[in-house]
Amino acid sequence: MSNSPPIVSVIMPCFNQGQFIEEAVESVIAQTFTPVEIIIINDGSTDIETVRLLNHYQKPNVSVIHTENRGPSAARNVGIQQAEGHYILPVDADDRIAATYLEKAVPILASQPEIGIVYTQAKLFGAKTGSFDLPPYQFPDILLGNMIFNSSLYRKADWEKVGGYNENMEYGWEDYDFWLSILELGRDVFRIPEVLYYHREVAHSRSEQMTQEHWVKSYAQIFKNHPQLYADHIDILFRELVELRENVHQTHSRLHTTQSRLNTVVSTVQSSKTWKVRKRWLKLKQWLGMTVDVGDSLLS
C-alpha cells in the first residue's frame, strides 16, 4: 500500500462480521495495484468483539467510520462520500478478492470511457464451496435478473451522477438496483473471464431468508426505481411472460401424458395372472403371521 493519494477506494460495510474482516482487509492490502485506500463502515454492529475490533482498528491506508445500523446501501453511501479514489470497489467484510483484481480491472475503466462496470468470475468459500456462477452479462437480460457481482469496479463520478445506492431496497438487491442505475447512464459492462472474487457463504444469509413475497416486493421496487428503463423495454418483459406461460402449458401436457401412460401400465399389471397370484400369497403370509416385506406391501 502507498501513502500517495488513492486511485481506488475499497468500501467495506461491516455488521457483526469482526471474525472475518481481517481476511477481507488483507486480501485488499495484498493487491498488486496501488495506491488503494480501504474504508470500513461499522454499520451499527452489536457484536461485542466486532465493536471492540473496529474501535481500535489501525492499519496503513485503512479508516473506520461508525454509523447507526441502516443497512448496506446507506453504509456504502457513507463510505463513498468520504472516498478519495477515482474508482470504487465494494467488498463485503466477509469476502475476499484476488491479489491481481485491481491490476486487471482498473486499466479497463481507465482506457474505455464507455465501460461503467467491471466484474470478474467468482468462487464460493465458507459454508459452501465451488463455482459461484451467474450468467455472462448481456443487455437486456439483466432487466429480468441480476448477473453482476456486488464486488465490481466502477467510477465514483458515476455513483455521484446516479445519486448513490438506493436505500429503499428493503430485502437486499441494492447492488442489482445500482447496476441498473449505471446502465441508465448509457454505460457498458466488462466481464473479466477469470476468478478474482471470492464470496463467503454463511448460514442464514439474506438470500436464503428471502420468501416469495420478498421476491415480489423486491422486483416491484426495482421497477419503481427504474420506470423509464422498463417502459423502454416492456416488450422484453411480456416476451418472457409469454415464454413462461408456454413452458407451463408444455409441462402440464407432459405430466398429463406421463400420468396416462402410468395408469395404463398399472392397469395392465394388476390384471395379469402373476399379480393375482402374488396377492393371494400376500394374504396367506398375513394369515400365517409371516413378515410382510416392502415388496409385498406394494400389493396391498
Task: Give DSSP secondary structure letters for 146-184.
Answer: --S-SS-BEEHHHHHHHTSS-S--TTS-HHHHHHHHHHT
Of 212, 214, 143, residue with least CA distance to 179: 143
* Residues β-bridged to residue 165: none
* Residues β-bridged to residue 67: 43
- For residue 137, the model assigns a pLDDT of 92
β-pair type (154-155, 87-90): antiparallel
**Residue 60 Cα distances to 4, 25, 266, angstroms:** 12, 11, 74
CA atoms within 13 A on the CB side of 54: 30
- For residue 220, the model assigns a pLDDT of 93
Kind and range of the H or E run holding 72: helix 72-82
- For residue 209, the model assigns a pLDDT of 73
- For residue 294, the model assigns a pLDDT of 47
Question: Is the peptide bond preceding residue 140 cis, with omega within 30 degrees of 0?
Answer: yes
- For residue 284, the model assigns a pLDDT of 58
pTM (predicted TM-score) = 0.80
- For residue 8, the model assigns a pLDDT of 98
Spatial strand order of the sheet with 62-67 comes to 62-67, 36-43, 8-14, 87-90, 154-155
- For residue 243, the model assigns a pLDDT of 79
Helices (H), the chain: 18-29, 48-55, 72-82, 101-111, 156-162, 174-183, 212-225, 227-232, 234-270, 273-288, 294-297
Residue 167 φ/ψ, nearest 5 degrees: -100, 15
Can you give the pLDDT of all 300 residues of the chain as single tens digits?
556 899 999 999 999 999 999 999 999 999 999 999 999 999 999 999 999 999 999 999 999 999 999 999 999 999 999 999 999 999 999 999 999 999 999 999 999 999 999 999 999 999 899 999 888 898 988 998 899 999 999 999 999 999 999 999 988 899 999 999 999 999 999 999 999 999 999 876 666 677 889 989 999 999 999 999 999 988 888 787 787 777 776 677 677 677 777 766 566 655 666 656 666 667 656 666 666 554 555 445
Grid coordinates of 266: 398399472
Using only the alpha carbons of the chain, give its radius of gyration. 27
- For residue 254, the model assigns a pLDDT of 73
Grid coordinates of 12: 467495506
- For residue 276, the model assigns a pLDDT of 63
Query: Under DSSP, is residue 258 helix (H, G, I), strand (E, B) or coil?
Result: helix
- For residue 10, the model assigns a pLDDT of 98
- For residue 258, the model assigns a pLDDT of 74
